[in-house]
């Protein structure tokens, strides 16, 4: 058995020591997709890490220039396939802002409810996969069992289980029914009863605590320099959430909190996501209670969009941070330029600096807390 | 207000450009019995400071500034001192004007204030200074912009292909690129 590592803070390395290059990925299970990291190692310690991207780069931004505004919506399900509805939402908001379309209130409520369900599904999958990274297999099976309920619910209204294309410019394409509402309430009841089990089984587990507590520090200053957002930033003590900071849709109508932890370590980022699931459940409950009657599509929404010339920006809080879209319109029926600002692109960019001097297993735990989805980084 | 503070701090960096403005001069009132003359259109060149505060509800950002590319590091320094973080860097190709526009998006944690800095560079030899020594995250965004538009960021530590294959010698987001 190895000797216990007592000093878990990043080591100050002897730069003259002999090093070797270790290739992590692009097919390594811990990198969750096709991410490759070129690691320069000094024994067990990381001297330098260089993420290598582009294995699943599909050039969505060029695709946008070759099709109409509405035809690009299916692409939004293929960026972050674990929380695709947030990306639907961001793109719909950008186009609606450019064209000046008003969305009916019921549609906005449905959008928030489904986006929050999708956020819980994403966090549940992250929870399972992350604990699997650390060597615990069982929680993954429980988490997938719960996530399955959400996928069934969302399938009943959106028609898809993963790559959602549910929002339209001016609303959503399908109204929710009573089955969905009772199903969502039953799911919340179920997950509320399961959360204490997750905390007993995993959060209070001594192995998990030893692997995460005080490991992988990310300071606020580093977050600012790299533009990190989402749970990574909130685990570093900054209360920044686009839903509160830049209120959109009907989020101002809901009473919910932004979980913030000040420890800046991997445990803090773990706790932020676990607490966010409860907050999302609060939003869904309030949304179902307040759900107004009415149409789910704006009556006068144009079929073909031709926004006025100019730049437009829209941002939403996706499951992994602030997702932004900058569109440049030249007045025709296709976007002239469309930029996708993906949160994990910025979050991963700090990995190289943050993991210096760490031992490899700790760096993998740190990478897990960044919650990477590679198709969204490569786009 | 942070917006006012940052507007004042950046105002000195904004460029002044000749903008063509169309003015319509109404015809003088016709004398009795005469037909009314048509209003005349006059195209005038007006010099304008390229600093705008657009309507946030319509546009999604609060401050839009165009600077000379040489002033980018100075502008980034002002923004990081004020606590702004970098959202993204991207380009826009304008083949008719033979220019490439580089757009920087900034935002703030404490207050809702989105700042857009833009600059234009020659399309045939696009080059702007890097801000990766100020915002570390700019490193990747600049590499991506170099991949897609061929913009050279002078002073950048490593502009090798990032999202594109290692042997890529094309810039796919330029308007004349056909797959």
Kindly tell me if the per-residue pLDDT of A367 is higher than 80. Answer: yes
Tell me which residue of A38, A39, A50, A47 sits closest to A17, measured CA to CA.
A47
Kindly tell me if the per-residue pLDDT of B109 is higher than 60. Answer: yes
Kindly tell me if the per-residue pLDDT of A2 is higher than 60. Answer: no
Query: Over the stretch B111-141, which tens digit does the pLDDT of each residue have?
Result: 888 899 999 898 888 889 999 888 988 999 9
Interchain contact, B85 vs A345, CB within 8 Å: no
> Is the CATH code 1.10.1040.10 the one for domain A61-373?
no
Q: What is the mean pLDDT of residues B3-29?
A: 77
Residues of chain B positioned with their CB less than 8 A from the CB of A316: none
Mean pLDDT of chain A: 87
Name which of A34, A49, A225 to mutate to probe chain B: the one with the most chain B Cβ atoms within 10 A of its Cβ. A225
Superfamily for B2-17+49-154?
NADH:ubiquinone oxidoreductase Nqo5 subunit (3.30.460.80)
Kindly tell me if the per-residue pLDDT of B53 is higher than 90. Answer: no
The residue with greater pLDDT, A133 or A3, is A133
CA angle A240, B63, A340 (to 5 degrees): 60
Task: Give the Å distances, CA to CA, from A5 to A11, A318, A363.
Answer: 11, 37, 14
Kindly tell me if the per-residue pLDDT of B35 is higher than 80. Answer: no
Q: Is A238 on the interface with B (CB under 8 A)?
A: yes
Kindly tell me if the per-residue pLDDT of A4 is higher than 60. Answer: no
Kindly tell me if the per-residue pLDDT of A15 is higher than 70. Answer: no
Kindly tell me if the per-residue pLDDT of A113 is higher than 90. Answer: yes
Contact A187, A318 (CB under 8 A): no
Interchain contact, B87 vs A336, CB within 8 Å: no
Query: Over the stretch B57-107, which tens digit does the pLDDT of each residue have?
Result: 888 888 888 888 888 898 888 888 888 999 999 999 998 888 899 999 999
Report pLDDT for A127. 92
Q: Which of A22-31, A243-252, B70-79 has the lowest mean pLDDT?
A: A22-31
Kindly tell me if the per-residue pLDDT of A199 is higher than 60. Answer: yes
Identify the closest residue of chain A to B57 by CA–CA distance.
Answer: A97
Determine the distance in angstroms separating the CA of A130 from the nearest CA of chain B, rounded to an integer. Answer: 25
Interchain contact, B163 vs A379, CB within 8 Å: yes
Closest CB to A326: pick one of B105, B165, B173: B105
Q: What is the mean pLDDT of residues A210-239?
A: 89
Determine the distance in angstroms separating the CA of A6 from the nearest CA of chain B, rounded to an integer. Answer: 31
**pLDDT confidence tier of residue A355, bands split at 50, 70 and 90:** confident
Query: Over the stretch B90-99, which tens digit does the pLDDT of each residue have?
Result: 999 998 888 8
Kindly tell me if the per-residue pLDDT of A9 is higher than 60. Answer: no
Residue spans of the domains in chain A: they are 61-373
Q: Which of A36-45, A320-329, B27-36 has the lowest mean pLDDT?
A: B27-36
Query: Over the stretch A35-50, which tens digit does the pLDDT of each residue have?
Result: 888 998 888 888 889 8
Report pLDDT for B1. 67
Q: What is the mean pLDDT of residues B44-51?
A: 77
Interchain contact, A337 vs B93, CB within 8 Å: yes
Q: Which of A11-20, A170-179, B52-61 has the lowest mean pLDDT?
A: A11-20
Q: What is the ipTM of this complex?
A: 0.85
**pLDDT confidence tier of residue A260, bands split at 50, 70 and 90:** very high
């Amino acid at each position: 058995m190895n000797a216990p590592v007592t000093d878990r803070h990043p080591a100050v390395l002897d730069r003259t020591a002999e090093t070797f290059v270790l290739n992590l990925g692009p097919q390594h299970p811990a990198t969750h997709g096709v991410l490759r990291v070129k690691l320069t190692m000094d024994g067990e310690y990381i001297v330098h890490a260089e993420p290598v991207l582009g294995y699943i780069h599909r050039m969505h931004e060029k695709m946008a220039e070759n099709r109409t505004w509405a035809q690009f919506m299916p692409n939004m399900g293929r960026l972050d396939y674990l929380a695709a509805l947030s990306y639907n939402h961001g793109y719909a908001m950008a186009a609606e802002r450019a064209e000046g379309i008003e969305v009916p209130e019921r549609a906005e409520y449905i959008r928030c409810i489904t986006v929050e369900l999708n956020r819980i599904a994403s966090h549940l999958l992250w929870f399972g996969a992350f604990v699997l990274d650390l060597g615990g297999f069982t929680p993954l099976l429980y988490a997938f069992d719960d996530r399955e309920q959400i996928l069934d619910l969302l399938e009943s209204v959106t028609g898809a289980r993963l790559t959602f294309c549910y929002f339209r410019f001016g609303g959503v394409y399908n109204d929710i029914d009573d089955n969905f509402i009772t199903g969502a309430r039953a799911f919340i009841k179920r997950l509320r009863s399961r959360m204490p089990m997750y905390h007993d089984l995993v959060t209070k587990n001594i192995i998990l605590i030893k692997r995460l507590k005080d490991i992988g520090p990310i300071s606020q200053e580093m977050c600012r320099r790299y533009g990190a957002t989402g749970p990574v930033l909130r685990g570093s003590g900054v209360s920044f959430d686009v839903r509160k900071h830049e209120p959109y849709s009907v989020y101002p109508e809901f009473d919910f909190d932004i979980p913030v932890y000040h420890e800046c370590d991997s445990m803090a980022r773990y706790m932020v996501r676990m607490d966010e699931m409860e907050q999302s459940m609060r939003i869904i409950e309030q949304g179902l209670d307040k759900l107004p009657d009415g149409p789910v599509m704006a009556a006068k929404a144009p079929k073909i969009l031709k926004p006025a010339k100019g730049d437009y920006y829209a941002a939403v809080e996706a499951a992994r941070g602030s997702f932004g879209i900058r569109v440049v319109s030249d007045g025709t029926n296709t976007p002239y330029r469309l930029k996708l600002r993906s949160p994990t692109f910025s979050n991963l960019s700090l990995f190289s600096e943050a993991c210096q001097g760490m031992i490899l297993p700790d760096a993998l735990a740190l990478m897990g807390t960044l919650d990477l989805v590679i198709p969204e980084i490569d786009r | 207000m942070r917006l006012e503070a940052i507007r004042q701090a950046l105002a000195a960096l904004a460029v002044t450009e000749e903008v063509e403005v169309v003015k319509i001069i109404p015809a003088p009132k016709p004398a009795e019995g005469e037909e009314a003359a048509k209003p005349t259109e006059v195209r005038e060149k007006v010099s304008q400071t390229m600093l705008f505060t657009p309507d946030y509800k319509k546009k999604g950002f609060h401050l839009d500034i165009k600077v000379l590319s040489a002033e980018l590091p100075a502008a980034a320094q002002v923004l990081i001192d004020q606590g702004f973080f970098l959202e993204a860097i991207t380009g826009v190709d304008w083949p008719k004007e033979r220019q490439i526009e580089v757009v920087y998006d900034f935002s703030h944690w404490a207050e809702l204030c989105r700042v857009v800095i833009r600059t234009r560079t020659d399309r045939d030899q696009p080059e702007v200074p890097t801000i990766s020594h100020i915002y570390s995250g700019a490193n990747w965004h600049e590499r991506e912009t170099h991949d897609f538009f061929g913009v050279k960021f002078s002073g950048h530590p490593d502009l090798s292909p990032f999202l594109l294959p290692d042997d890529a010698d094309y810039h796919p987001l330029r308007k004349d690129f056909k797959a």
